[in-house]
Amino acid sequence: MKQNSSVKIKTLRGRDICPYIPKIAACRIVIFCEYPYLYQGDMLYEERYLQIYSMAKDAILVIAEDHEDVIGVITGLPLLDSMDEVKSLFMKKSIPADRIFYLGEIILLPEHRGKNIGYRMYQQFEKAVFEKGLYEKIALCEVIRAENDLRKPLDYTPLSSFWIKQGYVKYPELVADFFWKEIGANEETKHPMVFWMKNCS
Ligand SMILES: CC(C)(COP(=O)(O)OP(=O)(O)OC[C@H]1O[C@@H](n2cnc3c(N)ncnc32)[C@H](O)[C@@H]1OP(=O)(O)O)[C@@H](O)C(=O)NCCC(=O)NCCS
Protein backbone atom coordinates (compact mmCIF):
# COMPACT_ATOMS: atom_id res chain seq x y z
CA MET A 1 0.00 0.00 0.00
CA LYS A 2 1.21 3.52 -0.84
CA GLN A 3 2.33 5.61 2.16
CA ASN A 4 2.54 9.37 2.28
CA SER A 5 5.47 10.29 4.53
CA SER A 6 4.68 14.02 4.66
CA VAL A 7 1.42 13.26 6.48
CA LYS A 8 1.61 13.58 10.27
CA ILE A 9 -1.04 12.15 12.57
CA LYS A 10 -1.59 14.01 15.85
CA THR A 11 -3.82 13.39 18.87
CA LEU A 12 -5.37 16.51 20.41
CA ARG A 13 -7.27 16.89 23.66
CA GLY A 14 -9.45 19.62 25.19
CA ARG A 15 -8.29 23.18 24.56
CA ASP A 16 -5.48 21.99 22.20
CA ILE A 17 -8.26 21.64 19.65
CA CYS A 18 -9.10 25.38 19.57
CA PRO A 19 -6.45 26.61 17.10
CA TYR A 20 -7.42 23.85 14.66
CA ILE A 21 -11.18 24.51 14.70
CA PRO A 22 -11.39 26.63 11.50
CA LYS A 23 -9.28 24.11 9.51
CA ILE A 24 -11.24 21.11 10.83
CA ALA A 25 -14.52 22.89 10.10
CA ALA A 26 -13.42 23.57 6.52
CA CYS A 27 -12.44 19.90 6.08
CA ARG A 28 -15.84 18.73 7.43
CA ILE A 29 -17.72 21.03 5.07
CA VAL A 30 -15.85 19.72 2.00
CA ILE A 31 -16.26 16.04 2.90
CA PHE A 32 -19.82 16.11 4.21
CA CYS A 33 -21.14 17.66 1.02
CA GLU A 34 -20.37 14.24 -0.58
CA TYR A 35 -22.94 11.44 -0.82
CA PRO A 36 -24.29 10.00 1.47
CA TYR A 37 -24.35 13.14 3.67
CA LEU A 38 -25.07 15.85 1.08
CA TYR A 39 -24.73 18.31 3.94
CA GLN A 40 -24.87 22.02 3.21
CA GLY A 41 -22.13 23.18 5.52
CA ASP A 42 -22.15 26.36 7.47
CA MET A 43 -18.95 27.66 9.06
CA LEU A 44 -20.73 29.20 12.05
CA TYR A 45 -22.55 25.96 12.90
CA GLU A 46 -19.34 23.99 12.39
CA GLU A 47 -17.34 26.16 14.74
CA ARG A 48 -20.09 25.87 17.40
CA TYR A 49 -20.21 22.10 16.95
CA LEU A 50 -16.44 21.79 17.33
CA GLN A 51 -16.45 23.98 20.45
CA ILE A 52 -18.30 21.10 22.17
CA TYR A 53 -15.16 19.01 21.67
CA SER A 54 -12.83 21.71 22.92
CA MET A 55 -14.92 22.04 26.08
CA ALA A 56 -15.46 18.33 26.80
CA LYS A 57 -12.76 17.33 29.27
CA ASP A 58 -12.24 13.86 27.80
CA ALA A 59 -12.67 14.60 24.10
CA ILE A 60 -10.11 13.13 21.72
CA LEU A 61 -9.41 14.44 18.24
CA VAL A 62 -7.00 12.83 15.85
CA ILE A 63 -5.95 14.97 12.93
CA ALA A 64 -3.94 14.20 9.82
CA GLU A 65 -1.83 17.11 8.60
CA ASP A 66 -0.04 17.47 5.32
CA HIS A 67 2.41 20.32 5.94
CA GLU A 68 0.15 23.03 7.41
CA ASP A 69 -3.11 21.64 6.01
CA VAL A 70 -5.59 19.54 7.98
CA ILE A 71 -6.55 16.78 5.55
CA GLY A 72 -8.44 14.46 7.88
CA VAL A 73 -9.92 14.20 11.34
CA ILE A 74 -11.52 11.83 13.82
CA THR A 75 -13.61 13.37 16.58
CA GLY A 76 -14.66 11.57 19.73
CA LEU A 77 -15.98 12.26 23.20
CA PRO A 78 -17.78 10.45 26.01
CA LEU A 79 -21.28 9.66 24.74
CA LEU A 80 -22.80 11.52 27.69
CA ASP A 81 -21.04 14.72 26.51
CA SER A 82 -22.27 14.31 22.93
CA MET A 83 -25.26 15.79 21.15
CA ASP A 84 -28.81 15.44 22.50
CA GLU A 85 -29.86 13.30 19.49
CA VAL A 86 -27.34 10.65 20.55
CA LYS A 87 -27.84 10.81 24.31
CA SER A 88 -31.63 10.70 24.07
CA LEU A 89 -31.56 7.54 21.92
CA PHE A 90 -29.51 5.66 24.51
CA MET A 91 -31.75 6.95 27.31
CA LYS A 92 -34.92 5.97 25.41
CA LYS A 93 -33.52 2.46 24.91
CA SER A 94 -32.38 2.29 28.57
CA ILE A 95 -28.78 1.60 27.54
CA PRO A 96 -26.33 2.80 30.20
CA ALA A 97 -24.03 5.19 28.38
CA ASP A 98 -21.52 6.27 30.98
CA ARG A 99 -18.92 3.78 29.71
CA ILE A 100 -19.47 4.42 26.01
CA PHE A 101 -17.16 6.63 23.96
CA TYR A 102 -18.73 8.21 20.89
CA LEU A 103 -16.81 8.53 17.63
CA GLY A 104 -18.38 11.55 15.94
CA GLU A 105 -16.73 11.18 12.55
CA ILE A 106 -13.73 9.92 10.64
CA ILE A 107 -13.06 11.90 7.51
CA LEU A 108 -10.23 12.31 5.04
CA LEU A 109 -10.07 14.51 1.94
CA PRO A 110 -10.73 12.38 -1.17
CA GLU A 111 -7.32 12.96 -2.76
CA HIS A 112 -5.61 11.37 0.27
CA ARG A 113 -7.76 8.23 0.50
CA GLY A 114 -6.52 4.69 -0.16
CA LYS A 115 -3.03 5.38 1.29
CA ASN A 116 -3.63 3.87 4.72
CA ILE A 117 -4.00 7.30 6.38
CA GLY A 118 -7.58 6.59 7.58
CA TYR A 119 -6.41 3.34 9.14
CA ARG A 120 -3.45 5.04 10.87
CA MET A 121 -5.75 7.78 12.18
CA TYR A 122 -8.22 5.19 13.45
CA GLN A 123 -5.49 3.15 15.21
CA GLN A 124 -4.23 6.26 16.99
CA PHE A 125 -7.76 7.23 18.02
CA GLU A 126 -8.55 3.78 19.39
CA LYS A 127 -5.27 3.65 21.31
CA ALA A 128 -6.10 7.00 22.97
CA VAL A 129 -9.59 5.75 23.92
CA PHE A 130 -8.31 2.42 25.26
CA GLU A 131 -5.54 4.15 27.26
CA LYS A 132 -8.18 6.02 29.26
CA GLY A 133 -9.33 2.65 30.61
CA LEU A 134 -12.79 4.10 31.27
CA TYR A 135 -14.84 2.80 28.36
CA GLU A 136 -16.46 -0.54 27.56
CA LYS A 137 -17.55 0.38 24.06
CA ILE A 138 -16.98 2.81 21.20
CA ALA A 139 -20.15 3.80 19.33
CA LEU A 140 -20.57 5.58 16.01
CA CYS A 141 -23.41 6.10 13.60
CA GLU A 142 -23.82 6.19 9.84
CA VAL A 143 -26.45 7.82 7.70
CA ILE A 144 -29.13 5.53 6.23
CA ARG A 145 -29.89 6.07 2.55
CA ALA A 146 -32.26 4.15 0.28
CA GLU A 147 -30.55 1.48 -1.84
CA ASN A 148 -31.98 3.10 -4.97
CA ASP A 149 -31.10 6.71 -4.06
CA LEU A 150 -30.53 8.36 -7.44
CA ARG A 151 -27.90 10.67 -6.00
CA LYS A 152 -25.58 7.76 -5.18
CA PRO A 153 -22.39 7.93 -7.30
CA LEU A 154 -21.77 4.84 -9.43
CA ASP A 155 -18.45 4.19 -7.69
CA TYR A 156 -19.83 4.68 -4.16
CA THR A 157 -18.84 1.94 -1.67
CA PRO A 158 -20.52 1.97 1.73
CA LEU A 159 -18.12 2.08 4.66
CA SER A 160 -19.59 -1.06 6.29
CA SER A 161 -16.57 -3.21 5.42
CA PHE A 162 -14.24 -0.59 6.95
CA TRP A 163 -16.20 -0.73 10.26
CA ILE A 164 -16.43 -4.53 10.23
CA LYS A 165 -12.65 -4.72 9.73
CA GLN A 166 -12.18 -2.51 12.80
CA GLY A 167 -14.37 -4.89 14.84
CA TYR A 168 -17.66 -2.96 14.86
CA VAL A 169 -21.11 -4.57 14.85
CA LYS A 170 -24.20 -2.83 13.48
CA TYR A 171 -27.24 -2.36 15.76
CA PRO A 172 -30.19 -1.87 13.35
CA GLU A 173 -32.51 -1.22 16.31
CA LEU A 174 -30.43 1.82 17.37
CA VAL A 175 -31.42 4.63 15.05
CA ALA A 176 -31.25 8.33 15.91
CA ASP A 177 -32.74 11.15 13.86
CA PHE A 178 -30.48 14.04 12.97
CA PHE A 179 -31.55 17.18 11.11
CA TRP A 180 -29.52 19.07 8.55
CA LYS A 181 -29.97 21.09 5.38
CA GLU A 182 -29.07 19.15 2.26
CA ILE A 183 -27.27 20.94 -0.56
CA GLY A 184 -29.71 23.21 -2.36
CA ALA A 185 -32.44 22.84 0.30
CA ASN A 186 -34.01 25.73 2.21
CA GLU A 187 -35.06 23.72 5.23
CA GLU A 188 -33.46 21.10 7.42
CA THR A 189 -34.79 17.59 6.92
CA LYS A 190 -34.66 14.44 9.05
CA HIS A 191 -31.80 11.99 8.48
CA PRO A 192 -31.95 8.68 10.37
CA MET A 193 -28.56 7.32 11.41
CA VAL A 194 -27.86 3.77 12.54
CA PHE A 195 -25.38 2.90 15.28
CA TRP A 196 -22.39 0.56 15.21
CA MET A 197 -20.45 -0.39 18.35
CA LYS A 198 -17.32 -2.28 19.31
CA ASN A 199 -16.13 -3.57 22.66
CA CYS A 200 -12.99 -2.01 24.10
CA SER A 201 -11.65 -5.33 25.38
C1 LIG B 1 -13.19 6.40 6.04
C2 LIG B 1 -11.93 7.00 5.45
C3 LIG B 1 -11.38 8.05 6.44
C4 LIG B 1 -10.90 5.88 5.25
O5 LIG B 1 -9.68 6.47 4.89
P6 LIG B 1 -8.58 5.82 3.88
O7 LIG B 1 -7.27 6.46 4.18
O8 LIG B 1 -9.08 5.90 2.51
O9 LIG B 1 -8.56 4.32 4.34
P10 LIG B 1 -7.27 3.42 4.36
O11 LIG B 1 -6.50 3.61 3.09
O12 LIG B 1 -6.53 3.62 5.63
O13 LIG B 1 -7.94 1.99 4.34
C14 LIG B 1 -8.11 1.20 5.51
C15 LIG B 1 -8.86 -0.02 5.13
O16 LIG B 1 -10.20 0.30 4.95
C17 LIG B 1 -10.59 0.00 3.62
N18 LIG B 1 -11.43 1.10 3.18
C19 LIG B 1 -11.10 2.40 3.05
N20 LIG B 1 -12.15 3.11 2.62
C21 LIG B 1 -13.14 2.22 2.46
C22 LIG B 1 -14.48 2.32 2.02
N23 LIG B 1 -15.02 3.50 1.64
N24 LIG B 1 -15.23 1.21 2.01
C25 LIG B 1 -14.72 0.03 2.38
N26 LIG B 1 -13.45 -0.15 2.79
C27 LIG B 1 -12.70 0.94 2.83
C28 LIG B 1 -9.32 -0.10 2.81
O29 LIG B 1 -9.48 -0.95 1.70
C30 LIG B 1 -8.39 -0.65 3.82
O31 LIG B 1 -8.56 -2.04 3.94
P32 LIG B 1 -7.28 -3.02 3.90
O33 LIG B 1 -6.54 -2.66 5.15
O34 LIG B 1 -7.88 -4.38 3.93
O35 LIG B 1 -6.57 -2.66 2.63
C36 LIG B 1 -12.22 7.69 4.07
O37 LIG B 1 -12.67 6.70 3.17
C38 LIG B 1 -13.26 8.79 4.12
O39 LIG B 1 -12.96 9.93 4.52
N40 LIG B 1 -14.50 8.51 3.67
C41 LIG B 1 -15.53 9.55 3.56
C42 LIG B 1 -16.03 10.06 4.87
C43 LIG B 1 -16.91 9.10 5.58
O44 LIG B 1 -17.86 8.59 5.01
N45 LIG B 1 -16.60 8.86 6.87
C46 LIG B 1 -17.35 7.96 7.72
C47 LIG B 1 -18.42 8.54 8.49
S48 LIG B 1 -18.09 9.94 9.43
Contact present, 60 and 125 (Cβ < 8 Å): yes
Question: For residue 182, what is the domain's CATH number?
Answer: 3.40.630.30
Residue 191 alpha carbon to ligand 1 centre in Å:
22
Tell which one of 29, 144, 159 to mutate to probe ligand 1, the residue whose CB is within 8 A of the most ligand atoms. Answer: 159
Q: For residue 102, tell me if it sits in a domain.
A: yes
Distance CA 137, CA 96 (A): 11
Number of domains in the chain: 1
Residue 93 alpha carbon to ligand 1 centre in Å:
30
Question: Which domain, by its residues, includes 52?
Answer: 7-199
Q: For residue 77, tell me if it sits in a domain.
A: yes
Q: Give, for all 201 residues of the chain, the pLDDT tens digit.
A: 555 578 999 999 989 999 999 999 999 999 999 999 999 999 999 999 999 999 999 999 999 999 999 999 999 999 999 999 999 999 999 999 999 999 999 999 999 999 999 999 999 999 999 999 999 999 999 999 999 999 999 999 999 999 999 999 999 999 999 999 999 999 999 999 999 999 998
Residue 94 alpha carbon to ligand 1 centre in Å:
32
Q: For residue 1, tell me if it sits in a domain.
A: no
Sign of torsion over alpha carbons 175, 31, 18, 60: positive
Distance CA 78, CA 138 (A): 9
Residue 10 alpha carbon to ligand 1 centre in Å:
18
Q: For residue 2, tell me if it sits in a domain.
A: no
Count of other CB atoms within 10 angstroms of residue 68:
6
Distance CA 82, CA 100 (A): 11
Across 5-160, the runs of DSSP E, i.e. the strands, are 7-13, 60-66, 69-78, 100-108, 137-143
The ligand 1 site (C-beta within 6 Å) comprises 31, 105-108, 113-119, 142, 157, 159, 161-162, 165
Q: For residue 175, tell me if it sits in a domain.
A: yes
Distance CA 185, CA 53 (A): 28
Strand partners, 78: 101
pLDDT, residue 171, reads: 98
